[in-house]
Each structure stands twice: as structure tokens, then as C-alpha cells.
Amino acid sequence: MQRPLIGITPDLAHQEAAHGPTERLFLNLDYAQAVWQAGGIPVVLPPIDEPEAFLSSLNGLLLTGGGDIDPQQYGAATTHPLTYGVSETRDRFEIALIRAALERDLPVLAICRGIQVLNVALGGTLYQHLPDEIPNALNHRQHELGIPSGEVAHPVTIVPDSLLARIVGTTELMVNSYHHQAVATLATPLRVVAVAPDGVIEAVELPGRSFVLAVQWHPERLFERFPAHFALFAALVDAARATRLRQQPALARIDGET
């Protein structure tokens, strides 16, 4: 059976080049490797003015980590001084992309910044800097504790009847952590399905859709050593494969004969 196509959102960076300043795409290859090993074809999506144009060709969507979302996107009156990596281009593109993907019921896995984009796109807000807003918060930037990104740092507690629990096969999971923002006011359609010991929201789902799962940690840094984290990518690809068959019934019949 042909591999499903999984669109992946890259980060953006302004760089100086010999011919002058330019904006470049970049992507941690772990995302692409995880999708490929799970059975999908990773497709990097450059930010364009009409992101929904991609969706008729895709079978699933992966929102990746990166810099902070502009607080103006969720109505914040001020911007925290430690806000970093804001890209108006990326914000605009990803918010429009996720809204269009949800309208099509395209399978979605959102990681770190991705959970925040999903929440903001549906009307939620973010904590701009966890140490300032969560009493006794964990240090969610494990590199500051000397813990490599490919190692787990703290547990999360998972709701037993959730999609996430079914995928990872447990209600307690060790995860990695390197973020300073998180979901604050939850968008109305979303359901919290995992929290950290300090109460920070670590995963959400969107009931009523075939597959929409968002996590605050970085499974792409863990998937090669930890089967539960690889299972997230496998579940996305499985959902995308089912979507592809629904999208192309004629092709589904051909695949079934091969």
C-alpha cells in the first residue's frame, strides 16, 4: 500500500547571505525520520498565503516545535520580555492551516509549539512564561538542568479513556520538556488528556474528529529509544492511511488488489 503523505510545518529563520538578508526554512530531521519510520512520506510545507491549497494533496498534518507565538494572536495586552523567535509569517500560516485541516477532518499531530498553535487557532490563550504564572512550576526547560533533549525529564498523567492513553498504552508516561510557554485558557472544543505534576497541560485532543492529538513534549527526540513515543507517529500515519483510503476510493480498490 502506498505510503500516506504527511505535511510537516518547518520553522523560519532570518539569515544574512552574500546577496543580502533572506528568510529560510529549517526543520529538525527527527520529525521527518519519525514520519518515515512510521510508514509515511514527510512533505515539508513552506508558508504560503493560501495554506489550504496543500490539503487536498495531504493525508495528515504534523505541526512542529519552534519559537513563540505572537501574544497578539491570543489577545494579550503585553509581550513578555523572554518571548523569542516570533514569526508573523509562520503564525499566520499555521493558524490558517490548522483551521482548514480541521474543517477537512485531516489527521493532526501537534508537537510543543504545535499544541499552542492549535489552542490559539481555536480561541484559547497561553501562559507567556511559566515561572511567572505557575506557583512551584517545574523547570520545563530541561537543558537548563543539564538533561539532554533525547532523555526524559518528568512524568505526565494521562486520562485513562483518552486517545492518547490508547496509543501509548499507559496512564503514566515519562517525557522530555523544553518550553517556557503552555496552554492557559483552553479553547472550548479541546479536551485536556495529560498534565504534568505542576498542573501544566501536556496534551489535548479534539473530540468529534477522526484524529487530532497535541502534546507539549518532543516525541521526535525520543521515538528511536522509547516505543510509546514512536507510537504517536505510528498512530498519525495509520489515521492518515485511513483518510487516504476515504479520499481516494478508487485507489483504495487498487491498493487492496496489490
**Does residue 229 carry a catalytic annotation?**
no
End-to-end Cα spacing for the chain: 7
**Does residue 143 carry a catalytic annotation?**
no
SS3 for 3?
coil
**Does residue 23 carry a catalytic annotation?**
no
DSSP state of 37: H
Q: Is the dihedral of CA 212, 214, 220, 223 positive or negative?
A: negative
DSSP state of 142: G
The residue annotated as part of the active site, out of 94, 202, 205, 220, is 220
Q: How far apart are CA 225 and CA 133, in angstroms?
A: 33
Find where cell 489515521 sits.
239
Do residues 168 and 157 touch, judged by C-beta distance below 8 A?
Answer: no
The residue annotated as part of the active site, out of 112, 179, 180, 229, is 112
Q: How far apart are CA 247 and CA 4, in angstroms?
A: 11
- Cell numbers standing for residue 134: 505557575
**Residue 207: other Cβ atoms inside 10 A:** 10
DSSP state of 228: H
The residue annotated as part of the active site, out of 140, 154, 179, 218, is 218
Positions marked active-site? 112, 218, 220
